[in-house]
Amino acid sequence: MKILVTGGAGFIGSNFIFYELANSEDDIVCLDKLTYAGNMKTLASVMDEPRFAFERGDIADVDFVESVFKKHRPDIVVNFAAESHVDRSIEQPDVFLKTNVLGTQNLLEACRRHGVTRFHQVSTDEVYGDLPLDRPDLFFTEETPLHTSSPYSASKAAADLLVQAYSRTYRLPVSISRCSNNYGPYHFPEKLIPLMISRALADEPLPVYGKGENVRDWLYVEDHCAAIDLVMRKGREGEVYNIGGHNERRNIDVVKTILRELGKPETLITYVTDRPGHDMRYAIDPTKIHRELGWLPKTGFDEGVSRTVKWYLDNKAWWQDIIAGDYKDYYERMYGGR
């Protein structure tokens, strides 16, 4: 088969491409706009792979998407392409609506025209809103009502609803997965774990929102890729599958774990003013995907952090090139005045 992976030069998309090339015989086409989070250096190891092709462009560009579908005739489309940083969505919500909503709708139309056998939408647990810290017994299930908190999560929820509408109205074969926070190799340096690693290595202050009590369920990216592969191949059409790591941690505890791994002092931690609408707790119940497809995460949090820190130590050139660019200006906008 031929799999079109949109957003494949980003963090999770690139790891998914590596996973498929290593674990399947399928051909992979990567479509990516190469915005700030897309990095061709990430794909350097597969650019000469005979089963891999790259197309640069925007999923919101109707003519471009049509040309890619006509050229490559994909059997499956996996949509990772999205603006995904909550802080950036608060700054520029219109960009998120264009890519995450209109871009998804454009892909769905192309899939309908070209008879794609499966469109898989990679979504997020943030569409469910948050859970109270004093109710550790509560988890997000596939039946949890959507209750978004930011322009980012609202745009992803809207995309999910479009995907479900195309399933019901046009009988387009679709599936959706909603994952918890991912971490691992090639994670863009503005996200929590790589941000803390890079700043700790430079002995710079580590900015932690509020008191650092917000809880996230952490999922090692390779485990996530294995789950997506199962859903797109064997998941029931029209269904939503939650993918969680069973690795809930407070943000402050995540930061302290990284400091211990690097042998750095906790005095580097600096508490900054919390961001607007900051969700308190995410926690996913992955019972459905385990029951139907046999998936469970293989990587515990401490092991995953250790592997992630080692990767950043071994691949400094990749993230240092990013930090040296426009990212510095963004960092100052986000944290400089807090």
Residue whose C-alpha is closest to residue 32's, from 9, 52, 48, 14? 9
Helix (H) and strand (E) counts in the chain: 13, 12
Residue in 152, 209, 312, 327 annotated catalytic: 152
**Is 125 marked active-site?**
yes
62, 38 in Cβ contact below 8 A?
no
Residue in 27, 32, 83, 125 annotated catalytic: 125
Bridge partners of 4, per DSSP, are 29, 77
Backbone torsions φ then ψ of 196, nearest 5 degrees = -70, -35
Q: What is the separation, in whole angstroms, between the first and last Cα of the chain?
A: 50
Q: Cα separation of 95 and 50, whole Å?
A: 34
CA distances to 2, 99, 130 from 111, rounded to whole Å, are 13, 17, 33
**Is 152 marked active-site?**
yes
Q: What is the DSSP string of 130-173?
A: ---TT-TT--B-TTSPP---SHHHHHHHHHHHHHHHHHHHH---
Cβ count within 10 A of residue 329: 10
In the chain, where does DSSP find H-type helix? 11-23, 62-72, 86-91, 93-96, 104-114, 151-170, 192-201, 221-234, 251-262, 287-293, 301-314, 316-323, 327-335
| Pairing of the two strands 215-220 and 248-250 | antiparallel
**Is 63 marked active-site?**
no
Query: Exposed, middle or buried by CB within 10 Å (0-12, 13-18, 19+), for 335?
Result: middle
**DSSP state for residue 100 in the 8-state scheme:** I
Catalytic annotation, residues = 125-126, 152
